[in-house]
Amino acid sequence: MENGGIQRVEKLCRRCKQIYEISENSSSSCKFHPSFFVSRRHDDQRRYYELGPDDPPYAAKFFDCCGAEDPDASGCTTDFHISYDD
């Protein structure tokens, strides 16, 4: 991929799964969750998650880092992209 004699080098980020140009990578380029999306009881489950009386304790599903309940929620942390080659 050449643009005016300059070769562009693109990589795939292993955190956010986005393709990025390495020369444009900055500390705010990658938005990701540093923890897993979990399905388990949260210590403050009653306060944060509205579970019904018949729901099992693992009915709460959320990102362990920020508590977001949507598995497609935008990342809660920003940093440099990291490729699979790094």
CATH of the domain at 37: 4.10.1130
Q: What is the pLDDT of residue 60?
A: 75
Are 19 and 10 within 8 A, CB to CB? yes
Q: Model-level pTM?
A: 0.70
6-55 pLDDT per residue, tens: 788 999 999 999 999 999 999 999 999 999 998 876 555 555 556 667 76
User: Phi-psi category of 64—alpha, beta or left, where left has phi over 0 and alpha has psi -120 to 50?
Assistant: alpha
**What's the total number of domains in the chain?**
1
Residue 84, domain member (yes or no): no
**pLDDT higher than 50, residue 61:** yes
63 located within any domain: yes
Tell me, yes or no, whether 7 lies in a domain.
yes
- Predicted confidence at residue 1, as pLDDT, reads 47
pLDDT of res. 52: 67
Is 85 a member of any domain? no
Residue 57 is predicted with a pLDDT of 60
